[in-house]
Structure 1
């Protein structure tokens, strides 16, 4: 009997025409790792019911997170926010966490995960952090890694990397500022920006600031293993 592939909910954005948008690279990465991607449109209702049928959740990148969600007024460098998307994704994260189902967050998705657990964000790292930051919004194609991150030993990310240092791509101006338990930091850039975390209380609850789905296109081993571990955890939750 053929083993059923896990259903992976993939969040989405809305383009300028009002159409649902998901970059193909996210879908391809889930498929390569052995999952079945299910696109979740912005404004979707019945979140709890949907999450009972999902085996895992992938939170993709996108616009800025509304600072009112972590108790701040908008900084002058804040970009476009999408409250309807924020509301849906926060509900998805909380519903999946309550069921201890796997969640992988990428860039904005990683930031939303942090806010869902009571954490805060830098609204603009260039205005709110030191002047000697690395380039965190690369001009090079996302398929190419540009800066290094240090990985905490004995973490899920370390298991995927097999080393204490990897090179990643980068495309953001917001970043994780403070985290709350049960989240723990698992990677940092050389300039001190938090680049990844995981939950100490969930089977697989991992977020990264970079875009591993783009690196999968160039067969980056760590990125592909990250998606494979995520899908494996989702398969176990079926």
Structure 2
């Protein structure tokens, strides 16, 4: 059977939940069955979701409440959605406890790190100097800057290279990760571009948007294939 992959959504208005089709298309292309996760903060519902789903895809979206990593809001902080933060952290905790695969993308990368105790840059341009352009002015499928991938990581085994090009659409970023996580890729300006767990079967997060690149980039397609395959191979 094909694995069922739950995908979190954004909320632009109070009663409207949205998701770019690129996420579900990428899961389908990799052999999975996407299932969109509606907003809920019910512990009972979240536990049942985590029991039914084979994997969790944390999608991109708005900013994360800085109080979750013990900071006050800076002027560059964008729109936050406390309900989404709460729901995604609860989902992460459930999937981690069950050792089920997680893939975090952009905001999903950041909320995964926060849920596991790491810190963040609320607003890269005002908090870090000598930056590359991390909010590209180019088509979403275009790979705009390079990343260095650490040898010996799962990401390196998937990409089979030490340098790759990725797209970029963010102003927040991971500041540091805590064990059992390890950084698996950085950009040339030192911004964390990917991390993964050393204690779980497949817990990985990337700062770029591979779902926008899968049709033209074999590396991005291989990343989704590896995720879906991990979801298929449940213990």
**What TM-score does the superposition give when structure 1 sets the normalisation length?**
0.96
Gap runs ≥5 in structure 1? none
In the alignment, is the contact (CA less than 8 A) between 1:25 and 1:217 conserved in 2?
no
Number of equivalent positions: 233
In the alignment, is the contact (CA less than 8 A) between 1:137 and 1:170 conserved in 2?
yes
Q: Deviations over 1:178-202 (max 9, x none)?
A: 1111000000000000000000000
In the alignment, is the contact (CA less than 8 A) between 1:144 and 1:169 conserved in 2?
yes
1:65 maps to 64
Is 1:9 aligned with 2:1?
Answer: no
1:135 maps to 133
Cα deviation for residue 109 of structure 1 reads 0.2
Q: Deviations over 1:103-141 (max 9, x none)?
A: 0000000000000110010000100001x2100000101
Gap runs ≥5 in structure 2? none
1:29 maps to 26
Which residue of 211, 222, 226 maps to 1:225?
222
Which residue of 163, 169, 172 maps to 1:171?
169
For 1:32 and 1:21, how far apart are their aligned partners in 2?
20
After superposition, residues 39-50 of structure 1 pair within 5 angstroms as 39-43=36-40, 45=42, 46-50=45-49
For 2:115 and 2:221, how far apart are their aligned partners in 1?
26
In the alignment, is the contact (CA less than 8 A) between 2:41 and 2:86 conserved in 1?
no
Cα deviation for residue 17 of structure 1 reads 6.8
SS at match of 2:74: coil
In the alignment, is the contact (CA less than 8 A) between 1:160 and 1:225 conserved in 2?
yes
For 2:119 and 2:60, how far apart are their aligned partners in 1?
17
For 2:140 and 2:81, how far apart are their aligned partners in 1?
23
For 1:109 and 1:21, how far apart are their aligned partners in 2?
15
Q: Deviations over 1:160-193 (max 9, x none)?
A: 1111000000000000001111000000000000
1:159 maps to 157
In the alignment, is the contact (CA less than 8 A) between 1:13 and 1:41 conserved in 2?
no
For 2:54 and 2:184, how far apart are their aligned partners in 1?
24
1:98 maps to 97
Cα deviation for residue 44 of structure 1 reads 5.5
Change (3 A) 1:9 1:82: same
In the alignment, is the contact (CA less than 8 A) between 1:64 and 1:80 conserved in 2?
yes
Query: Structure 1: which 4+ aligned runs deviate by more than 2 Å?
Result: 15-18
2:113 maps to 114
Give the alignment's Cα RMSD to 1 decimal: 1.0
2:231 maps to 234
